[in-house]
Structure 1
């Protein structure tokens, strides 16, 4: 019983020291063309990679109506990034988005994936 508890504790500790999973959603101006949207996606993807992010998954959610007007825009192009990486990778990307004219809103959240994995490891051990 003691060995099982120690093994579960060590595996949980290992998971917490790994990179954290983040999700960044941002909204681009609706008047951008397809090429400009791809350039923006590539720019932020490369910025994430430069700062240590890995396993970047990109989802272009397309043009959608906003719930309320943001920077005099009623529509926006939604882009979602899911990635793992250090917390230090977020600030430079959000700074670039804040200074960009093409991004009208952005949000980054930390996903709670490690708790589920830790519970699975503890049960299987």
Structure 2
């Protein structure tokens, strides 16, 4: 199984429920095509570099997944037919450096235990002045 990233730009005119169902549709599409989803990142509405189908903005969704190479063609075919999808881009990760990125996605972040104290930096007050270094003069 190879590592992939799928960036999808959806129409910004969709309601919140429609956006949620479209994101779920994309996840189900990947799973039906033997993909194993590692991470999903819903970026939200962003301005487009140029107008697409009379839209200046789009709802961005990024899905990181592993899948056999043969299933990508079918995934892209179905996304190309969908009228709610403005654009999509599939990126295949091949180098060891890129694949090491996947280990970071699949590793859960350490949660803070209730008993642990958080270390916060102490802010300097606006009235403090820096201490000047003393210079000794030899006479």
**TM bracket, shorter-chain basis:** 0.7 to 0.9
Q: How far apart are 1:21 and its partner, in Å?
A: 0.5
Q: TM-score w.r.t. structure 2 length?
A: 0.66
Structure-1-length-normalised TM-score = 0.73
Structure 1 equivalent of residue 60 of structure 2:
78
Q: Does 1:38 align with 2:20?
A: yes
Residue 37 of structure 2, aligned match among 42, 46, 55? 55
Q: What stretches of structure 2 of length at least 5 have no aligned partner?
A: 101-139
Q: Which has the larger radius of gyration?
A: 2
Residue 71 (structure 1) shift:
1.2
Equivalent-residue separation in structure 2 for 1:30 and 1:55 (angstroms): 24
Asked if the contact 1:51/1:88 (under 8 Å) is kept, the reply is no
The structure whose RCO (Cα within 8 Å, separation 6+) is larger is: 1
Shift of 1:64: 0.3
Runs of 4+ in 1 over 6 A off after TM superposition: none
Which of the pair is proportionally richer in helix? 1
Q: For structure 1, list consecutive stretches of 5 or more residues without a partner in the other structure.
A: 1-18, 119-125
